[in-house]
Chain A
Amino acid sequence: MSFPVPEITDVNRPYWDGLAAGELRYQHCKCCGNNWLPAREHCPQCLSPDREWRASSGKGTILSWVVYRHAYAPHLADRLPYDVTAVELDEGARLLTNIVNGDEGRKLSVGARVALCIENEEGVSLPRFKLTDPK
């Protein structure tokens, strides 16, 4: 298995275009006000298709995380050990990400504040984060 390039569709293109342009976008429901990720055609709360993309402040909070010590695909071997962290943006949308200054997970904690730190890998701009107040 090689690097898993995302499948770009009409629905999620603004998300990846946004990252390439330096911002993290989430979807906002113009009917009920819900904010969410990943990209969908309908609001999962009220099912309205009336939605728009908004730019996040890039600030968020850690919900939980894991640290891989085993590479489940060959391209991941060079990254070991690496974290995958669940983050809730201040606007409410959530995503899985990596924390660039987490010291292999040792500095991570639930509730820790993080800020967007876009990194390029294999030509794709990825929404990574950094701890804003590392202990």
Chain B
Amino acid sequence: MRGKVSITGVGHTTWGKHPGRDRVALIVEAAAKAIADAGLEKDEIDAVLVKQPNSAPGILYGQKVAEALGLRPTIGLNLDQGGAACTSLLQYGSLAIEAGMIKNALIVYGDTPRTGSRAALHRPRGDDAIMGWYSVAAGYAMIHQAYQQRYSSAPEEFGIFAVQMRANGAENPNAHLRSPLTMDEYLAGGKLIDPLRKDDFCLVSDGAAAIVIGATADARDRSRAVPLLGMGQGQESWEVHLRPDILRTKAEDSANMAFKMAGIDRKDLSFAQIYDCFTVTVLQTLEDYGLAPRGTAGKKALAEGIGLDGWLPLNTSGGLLSESGTPGLQLIIEGVRQMRGEATLQVKDPRFGLITNQGGTMHTHATIIVGQPS
């Protein structure tokens, strides 16, 4: 499996606000760019794999998207796995390619929570709503609190990730939020739900993104086809307060699987694009992945840096905290730009790149490791 499938095309709309635009139309716009980037004709796409839009879950949504694309694909589906879905879809598409069922899969996501409805983000959470348990953010606040209590963390250990992602986003001409953030500004940020500060939250962005994958051997332009070397998943599934340890999820298993398949060590990574819906997610992921000992990710980031010249360059286009709050594909796209040598903040001669996606309140997790085009 290692290296046999590559990401051959990527595309996205502008990030930010798309008032009045239909989310399926945004997907079509991004898909057309990705298909052209792969050097393919539309009709060469034989799988349309859609991540469910958070704002508008619908029945037969995958088919609605395929119809708008004018396609009757071999495989067409809509996956609900929160923010891990796009990376998981990429993996299922890879398996179908390797099995010979399809040749080229399109993975897409688009939504308009910025100018449309944010109800999904603010929603009451089941029977616990009666206790006041509302919003997606609250679950991350619960984990953030447990983390800072267990490790006696300083707020700066979280803030460094917001500050660096915002610095990266400021350099990205396509980023939704291009204003840098100082540590003092981070620390002074207001609180909606303690202990989260304003800039611990990712953006809420309209926009759509798409990637195309196919057999590496069949790529139109091998020099721009970024091979998938490792894949992994691990679904924690349980609600935050019911997990045996509130600070442990199955992300660790996802990472181990991906590194094993890729056949590389942690120290071989040139960069990582880590799902940063909240700052604590980055700390937890770095530690789940064995990239920093438990309780030390923030200290290590503060001491050794996470910019281009740091310990491990992270979220080089700004991530969810600055490039776009869109759940996941932008991280894969930035990984592709890095391996192609087309990034704005370009890592020098990257060999291996890590991309993580996760969803719910760390309920779901998926990992890929990408390598150099051949």
Contact = CB atoms under 8 A, between A and B. Distances in A.
Contact of A4 (B124, B138, B191): B124
B127 interface: yes
A72 B135 contact: yes
Given A86-B240, A94-B241, A4 B129 contact: yes
A1 to B, nearest CB: 7
Contact of A109 (B127, B149, B191): B149
Contact of B146 (A4, A63, A76, A98): A63
B241 A63 contact: yes
A107 interface: no
Interface string B126-163: 01111111110010011101100110000000000000
B146 A66 contact: no
A32 interface: no
Interface string A67-101: 11110110010010110101000000011111000
Contacts of A95: 241
B242 interface: yes
A67 B149 CA distance: 15
Contacts of A81: 194
Contacts of A65: 142, 145
B134 A86 contact: no
A46 interface: no
Main secondary structure, interface of B, reads helix
A56 interface: no
Contacts of B141: 66
Nearest to B194: A67
A79 B130 CA distance: 12
A97 B129 CA distance: 10
Interface residues of B, number: 28
A10 interface: no
Given A7-B127, A64-B246, A65-B142, A84 B133 contact: yes
Contact of A84 (B138, B191, B246): B138
B101 interface: no
B95 interface: no
A4 B122 CA distance: 14
B192 A69 contact: yes
29 contacts: A4-B129, A4-B130, A5-B130, A38-B127, A63-B146, A64-B142, A64-B146, A66-B138, A66-B193, A67-B193, A68-B132, A69-B191, A69-B194, A73-B122, A73-B124, A79-B132, A84-B128, A84-B132, A84-B133, A84-B138, A84-B142, A86-B142, A94-B241, A95-B241, A96-B128, A96-B131, A96-B241, A105-B194, A110-B146
Given A4-B130, A98-B132, 12 more contacts: A4-B129, A38-B127, A64-B143, A66-B141, A68-B192, A70-B192, A72-B122, A73-B124, A86-B246, A96-B133, A109-B149, A110-B146
